[in-house]
């Protein structure tokens, strides 16, 4: 699992949808702070949160963590 790649992919997916961190938080139920930590590669989300992000963006969890392209 590549924390930096996860952060890059999360940021890119959020920006592709035209969302701010706050808007993503409102849409997913995560805090702005959590999203900020994830996008700055300071923390990795729990497995459950990773799954929710994957569902929201329509990608696989493996894609988010860098196991798939």
Average pLDDT, the chain: 96
Helix, strand, coil: what percent of the chain each, to 5?
65, 0, 35
What separation in angstroms does the CA of 30 have from each of 43, 59, 67, 68?
Answer: 14, 18, 24, 24
| CATH homologous superfamily, domain 3-64 | lambda repressor-like DNA-binding domains (1.10.260.40)
pTM of this structure? 0.94
Per-residue confidence at 46, pLDDT binned at 50, 70, 90?
very high
Helix (H, G, I), strand (E, B) or coil at 36: helix
| Percent over 70 (pLDDT), the chain | 100
Quick one: 48 exposed, middle or buried, by C-beta within 10 A (0-12, 13-18, 19+)? Answer: exposed
pLDDT in tens, 5-35: 999 999 999 999 999 999 999 999 999 999 9
């Amino acid at each position: 699992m590549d924390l930096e790649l996860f952060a890059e992919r999360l940021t890119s997916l959020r920006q592709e949808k035209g969302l701010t961190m706050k808007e993503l938080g409102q849409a997913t139920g995560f805090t702005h702070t959590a999203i900020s930590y994830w996008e700055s590669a300071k923390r990795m989300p729990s497995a459950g949160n990773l799954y929710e992000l994957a569902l929201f963006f329509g990608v696989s969890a493996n894609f988010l963590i860098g196991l798939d392209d």
